[in-house]
Amino acid sequence: MTDIAFEIVDVRAMEILDSRGQPTLEVQVTLDGGSRGRAGVPSGASTGEKEAHELRDEDPGRYGGRGVLKAAEAVNGEIADALAGVDVRRQRAVDDILIQLDGTDSKSRLGANAVLGASLAAAYAAAAASRTPLYRYLGGVMANVLPVPLMNVLNGGQHAANNIEVQEFMIVPAAADSFAEALRWGAEIYAALGGELSAGGYSSSVGDEGGYAPNLHSEEEALQFLCSAIRKAGLQPGRQVWLALDVAANDLRCGGAYRLRQRDVSAGELVNTYETWCGDYPIISIEDGLAEDDWSGWKLLTDRLGGRVQLVGDDLFVTSAELLRRGQREGAANAILIKPNQIGTVSETLHTMSTAARLNYSACVSHRSGETSDTFISDLAVAARCGQIKSGAPCRTDRVVKYNRLLRIEKSLDSAAEFAGLQAFMLE
Ligand code: PGA
Ligand code: ZN
């Protein structure tokens, strides 16, 4: 039965700025009953080859070619026409219309930014018209698990202008009793780390995801800094707070090998290095330890470390259920990173997350390095009960809004809230 209150009457997009000062889309869906949903679209810097494709104007006279006026036009024209009259609660139907209208595998005709913006805004509008918080609208009465935050407190790679090649060094306060406590631990460790870096004569300027971006002598020095900051904050590394890395190894790829610290290394040598780091430091998770085209390297890594470390495919899987199934067949990775803009619609994102749960892969919902004040991923993490989220350091509003949204959700769930804790990593 169609209820007029839920019928889409308008879809509008405009060009706004993201956290790097680059243009991105904001999309608003309006329903016949007057309810609205509004979403901001994120954008990555270290992207996977098979990600859905964001449409940029390529007009060198505006924003160095990175304008999104064409994508906005696609929303205001074709997408608005195609979605007019559709019941917004039928998210799968909304998303199928978008997918078919675009007609390409990579969503490159209308732009994955246009498609995702419309899909997210539809979900927000449906929740608003249902007078239900977004996490409960998406996840139902079982949407009560607050994720462990993986907080990127040291930035390198493409996210900072320093000499650290591993892109992200994260702290994981998994033994906290609640999300609020985990966030407090993270913020206190972050503050301690800033103090330690300054005391050591290092820069405490920050990178794209709010983590510090000093020049360091080695990856091991970064790991040592993290452990000493955890202790300085009165917490125990490996008992209360763990470490996680995003190597973003696509960016280290050099021919058939990898280049780390001015040395060519094979996949096998890289795996040896990770094994050493995991022996010396309480590392619970390694993301993109190898490049997306290196399936044999991924298998080796998974055979060697998969029993005791979460191995996350980001560029490897690009939030695609199909690539995840290949990973499972080939024994590559044991976890998946979930970024809605890699796949392009809410329904496909949820499908990939349920596929992961079925295949026994853990899942971590993630921001992009270019973000807006949108907090969809916070609600998504609770809705899907995946138990993990990464949204950068507890610094820069584009990062902190996601964590603050989770604080609010935890508070409103009250005694029904459960903190995912160490279990989310599905180790042991
Ligand atoms: P990106 O980085 O948003 O620049 O791709 C995030 C990540 O690699 O996890
Ligand atoms: Zn990554």
- Tell me, what CATH number does 116's domain have? 3.30.390.10
Give catalytic status of residue 411 as yes or no. Answer: no
Shared-domain flag, residues 155 and 274: yes
What is the extent of the structural domain holding 364? 140-425
Q: Is there an atom of ligand 1 within 6 Å of 97 CB?
A: no
Shared-domain flag, residues 149 and 65: no
Atom of ligand 1 nearest to the CA of 208: 4
Which of 41, 43, 46 to mutate to test ligand 1, by most ligand atoms within 8 A of the CB atom? Answer: 46
Q: Is there an atom of ligand 1 within 6 Å of 246 CB?
A: yes
In the reported structure, the alpha carbon of residue 406 is separated from the centroid of ligand 2 by a whole-number distance in angstroms of: 22
Tokens of 128: 């608003």
User: Taking the mean position of all CA atoms in its chain, how far away is CA 181?
Assistant: 21
Which of 369, 371, 377, 399 to mutate to test ligand 1, by most ligand atoms within 8 A of the CB atom? Answer: 369
First to last CA, the chain: 48
Q: Is there an atom of ligand 1 within 6 Å of 368 CB?
A: yes
Q: Number of folded domains in the chain? A: 2
- Residue 328 phi/psi, 5° resolution? -65, -40
Q: For residue 16, give the DSSP letter.
A: E
Tokens of 278: 């995991």
Shared-domain flag, residues 220 and 274: yes
**pLDDT, tens only, 57-76:** 999 999 999 999 999 999 99
Q: Is the pTM of this model over 0.95?
A: yes
Per DSSP bridges, beta strands 36-40 and 23-31 are antiparallel
Q: What is the pLDDT along the chain (428 residues), one digit of tens a residue?
A: 568 799 999 999 999 999 999 999 999 999 999 999 999 999 999 999 999 999 999 999 999 999 999 999 999 999 999 999 999 999 999 999 999 999 999 999 999 999 999 999 999 999 999 999 999 999 999 999 999 999 999 999 999 999 999 999 999 999 999 999 999 999 999 999 999 999 999 999 999 999 999 999 999 999 999 999 999 999 999 999 999 999 999 999 999 999 998 899 999 999 999 999 999 999 999 999 999 999 999 999 999 999 999 999 999 999 999 999 999 999 999 999 999 999 999 999 999 999 999 999 999 999 999 999 999 999 999 999 999 999 999 999 999 999 999 999 999 999 999 999 999 998 86
Shared-domain flag, residues 366 and 219: yes
Give catalytic status of residue 232 as yes or no. Answer: no
Shared-domain flag, residues 320 and 420: yes
Tokens of 351: 């499908």
Q: Is there an atom of ligand 1 within 6 Å of 248 CB?
A: yes
Closest CA to 191 of 393, 407, 397: 393
Active site residue: 165, 209, 219, 348, which one? Answer: 209
Shared-domain flag, residues 170 and 85: no
State which of 87, 111, 131 marks the end of a domain.
131
Q: Is there an atom of ligand 1 within 6 Å of 46 CB?
A: yes
Q: Is there an atom of ligand 1 within 6 Å of 110 CB?
A: no
E strands along 225-288, which residues?
242-246, 253-254, 257-260, 263-265, 283-287
User: Taking the mean position of all CA atoms in its chain, how far away is CA 244?
Assistant: 14
In the reported structure, the alpha carbon of residue 337 is separated from the centroid of ligand 1 by a whole-number distance in angstroms of: 10
Specify whether the CB–CB gap between 112 and 344 falls below 8 A. yes
Active site residue: 50, 299, 339, 402, which one? Answer: 339
CA distances from 364 to 21, 146, 401 (A): 26, 12, 18
Taking the CA atoms of residue 15, residue 18, residue 23 and residue 26 in that order, the dihedral angle to the nearest 10 degrees is: -20
Interatomic CA distance for residues 159 and 263, integer angstroms:
21
Atom of ligand 1 nearest to the CA of 158: 4
For residue 1, the model assigns a pLDDT of 57
For residue 261, the model assigns a pLDDT of 87
Question: What's the CATH number where 342 sits?
Answer: 3.20.20.120
Interatomic CA distance for residues 242 and 256, integer angstroms:
32
In the reported structure, the alpha carbon of residue 255 is separated from the centroid of ligand 2 by a whole-number distance in angstroms of: 20
Shared-domain flag, residues 68 and 156: no
Interacting residues of 188 by C-beta distance below 8 A, sequence separation 6+:
233, 234, 235
For residue 3, the model assigns a pLDDT of 80
In the reported structure, the alpha carbon of residue 136 is separated from the centroid of ligand 2 by a whole-number distance in angstroms of: 28
Shared-domain flag, residues 189 and 121: no
State which of 86, 103, 131 marks the end of a domain.
131
Shared-domain flag, residues 115 and 218: no
Interacting residues of 373 by C-beta distance below 8 A, sequence separation 6+:
40, 397, 398, 401
Specify whether the CB–CB gap between 257 and 211 falls below 8 A. no
In the reported structure, the alpha carbon of residue 132 is separated from the centroid of ligand 2 by a whole-number distance in angstroms of: 32
Q: For residue 311, give the DSSP letter.
A: E
Shared-domain flag, residues 98 and 167: no
Q: Which ligand is nearest to the CA of 371?
A: 1
Task: Burial-class residue 62 by CB neighbours within 10 Å (0-12, 13-18, 19+).
Answer: middle
Shared-domain flag, residues 116 and 207: no
For residue 2, the model assigns a pLDDT of 63
Atom of ligand 1 nearest to the CA of 159: 4
Per DSSP bridges, beta strands 151-155 and 335-338 are unpaired
State which of 78, 112, 131 marks the end of a domain.
131
Q: 219 in helix, strand or coil?
A: helix
Shared-domain flag, residues 86 and 217: no
